[in-house]
Amino acid sequence: MADVLRVALAQLNQRVGDLEGNCARIRDAVRDAGDVDLVVTPELSISGYPPEDLIHRRSYVTACMAAVRQLAEDTKGGPAIIVGTPWRDDPEADYPYNACVVLDGGEVAGVARKVHLPNYGPFDEPRTFAAHDAPEPITCRGWKLGLQICEDMWFPHVSRMLKDKGAEVLIAPHGSPFRKGVKQERLACARGRAEETGLPMIFVNQVGGQDELVFDGGAFIADAGGIVTSSGLFEEGILRALIARGGKVIGPEPAEWVADEGLLYEAVVTGTRDYVRKSGFRDVVLGLSGGIDSALVAAIAVDALGPEHVHCVRLPSRYTSGPSMADAEACAKALGVRMDTIAIEPGVEAMTGMLSEVFEGSTPDLTEENLQSRLRGTVLMAISNKLGSMMLTTGNKSEMAVGYATLYGDMNGGFNPLKDVYKTEVFRLARWRNGAKPSWALGPDGEVIPEAIITKPPSAELREDQKDEDSLPPYDTLDAVLQGLIERDLGPEELAEEGHDIDLVRRIEGLLFRAEFKRNQSPPGAKVTTRSFGRDRRYPIINGWRG
- Is residue 394 annotated as involved in ligand binding? yes
- Is residue 352 annotated as involved in ligand binding? no
Enter the DSSP assignment of 238: E
- Is residue 518 annotated as involved in ligand binding? yes
- Is residue 398 annotated as involved in ligand binding? no
How far is Cα of residue 525 from the mean position of the Cα atoms in its chain?
A: 8
- Is residue 41 annotated as involved in ligand binding? no
H or E segment to which residue 71 belongs: helix 58-74
- 511 near 403, Cβ under 8 Å? yes
In terms of C-beta density within 10 A (0-12 exposed, 13-18 middle, 19 or more buried), how is residue 378 classed? Answer: middle
Catalytic residues: 43, 114, 150
Among the listed residues 448, 408, 410, the one whose alpha carbon sits nearest the alpha carbon of residue 432? 448
- Is residue 292 annotated as involved in ligand binding? yes
- Is residue 471 annotated as involved in ligand binding? no
- CA pair distance 229, 434, nearest whole angstrom: 31
- 146 near 167, Cβ under 8 Å? yes
SS (H, E, C) 371-426: HHHHHHHHHHHHHHHHHCCEEECCCCHHHHHHCCCCCCCCCCCCECCCCCCCHHHH
- Is residue 294 annotated as involved in ligand binding? yes
- CA pair distance 293, 418, nearest whole angstrom: 8
- Written as one string, the DSSP assignment of 410-476 is TT-SSB-TTTT--HHHHHHHHHHHHH---TT--S-SS--S-HHHHHSPP---SSTT--GGGTS--HH
- Is residue 525 annotated as involved in ligand binding? no
Binding positions for deamido-NAD(+): 370, 399, 518
Annotated binding site for L-glutamine: 120, 176
Residue ranges of the binding site for ATP: 287-294, 394
Positions at the binding site: 120, 176, 287-294, 370, 394, 399, 518
